[in-house]
Amino acid sequence: MFWHNDNIKDSNHLLEKTIECNNIGIRLLHFYDIEILNKFDIVCSIINNILYKNYKIYGRETSIVNITSIEAKQFFDINHIQGGVYSKYNAGLTYCDKLVAVMSISKSRYDNTFELTRFANIKFNTVIGGFSKLLKYLLKTNNIEKLTSYVDLRFFTGDAYKSNGFIKTHQSKPNYYYFNKKDYILESRIKYQKHKLPKLLNNFDINISEYENMKTNGYLRIFDCGNLVYKYNNTIE
């Protein structure tokens, strides 16, 4: 993380490397060192899945179960590289009485529609057709017609969305995270919006920017590759 902070690397650095590799037929993944150190098993599971080395479970052999937001978050904390979030609608798939996949949907952060916030298989397993099975169930049981989801280009391609009726609307520019040089914990930029800083920082100056305030307090900034934005609209004939 340190050697890729934006004092050293341009904000488009990871995205440009991804594009260069795509152009010559190479799929490039980017993992921050903190993810390799603290989530090594999830990192390995993502790589195994791409190499078709995870254990395969067929969706038709699984059962759908409704789960709580807390249960979903606990599952994602263990099995999703980005950790868990609390969501309004949550469902999972069980196999041999074990929860093997979970999907969560919430109200969108930006408009009056809904957002697919998380999907994950249990580590080192791939539920074939699991994404489609959970998506159809959650859309039908909660009368959801419009849905948005964001695909992190550091890891994923969005193929599951394309095969399930989603349409790619655009690609967002690289997003950034903050981390403190003392503890190296990735922090969302949303947490450190300027109006929130007086309560979070020891030294805050209203006359300088969010970024300048964060630098003054010992934080560095690192960029990702951006997201693919996918939309699902069941109202289109």
Mean pLDDT of successive 10-residue stretches along the chain, which has 237 residues: 94 96 96 95 97 97 97 97 94 97 91 92 98 97 94 94 95 95 87 95 96 95 96 75
- pLDDT score for 59: 96
127 three-state secondary structure: strand
The C-alpha atoms of residue 194 and residue 213 are separated, in whole angstroms, by 9
- pLDDT score for 234: 80
Smallest Cα–Cα separation from 188: which of 196, 229, 203?
196
Q: Is residue 94 within 8 Å of residue 122, measured between CB atoms? A: no
- pLDDT score for 181: 81
Domain range list for the chain: 31-144
> Considering only the top CATH level, what class is 31-144?
alpha beta
The kind and range of the H/E element at 71 are helix 69-79
- pLDDT score for 113: 86
- pLDDT score for 237: 46
